[in-house]
Structure 1
Amino acid sequence: MATKRLLIVDDALFMRKRIREIAESAGWEIAGEAEDGEQAVALYQQENPDLVTLDIVMPKLDGVSALKQLMQHDPQARVVMVSAVNQRPKLAECIQAGAIDFIVKPFEKAMLREFFEKSLAAEDKP
């Protein structure tokens, strides 16, 4: 089984660190981290990760706009939106734009680990 690579995008350093720790404990390799949508798009094009966690509210380029650019670049991109509860109205727009799922902050460590483990297992099926 090849190691799956994750790109973490969030403007909050503590959130990136938390997602990194949980993903690594679930067997993911971290392809990179970005603190805004512009960095996310550039890093995606450079690293071609298997999955992206993408915050919605960020400086320079928000998550919705970054998602749309990622999907234009790679229609097969697997992007999971990460957002606070008050961003639920934006989530429908994200799913329409191509996001495969969403995680609501604050999240439980066990729930996020289970999500990463399931994503890893799903990727291995033929």
Structure 2
Amino acid sequence: RNNRPPLLTNFDAPGTMVSCGRRNQSSHAGQALTLLNSPELDRQARAFASRLETEAGRAPVAVVQRAYRLALGRPPNPDELSLGRAFLETGDGSFAETLSDYCLVLFNLDEFLYVE
């Protein structure tokens, strides 16, 4: 209870010892950098990529469709499908590394981060 998760430090997490009825809202560059460079989110992206590869194989279109269904609860629109397919087909590393990078991109979408 006394140890605040390091990932939440940049996100104005409330203290664990006091009640917090309402939190301040803030958005700054440090938050975006934390999401892109966090070891924890990198692990989550690799795990999500592994699940996608197991469930959808290595066909980029199938992977992008499954990723959107799982991460955002909807199918990708034609532009998102095209961009995702291109990203997966032109990756510099192995398919698993490229897919993990793609998952990290999905985790950083506003639609993934914010509930409306």
- TM-score of the pair, normalised by structure 2: 0.27
Going by fraction, where is helix more abundant, 1 or 2?
2
- TM-score of the pair, normalised by structure 1: 0.25
Larger Rg belongs to? 2
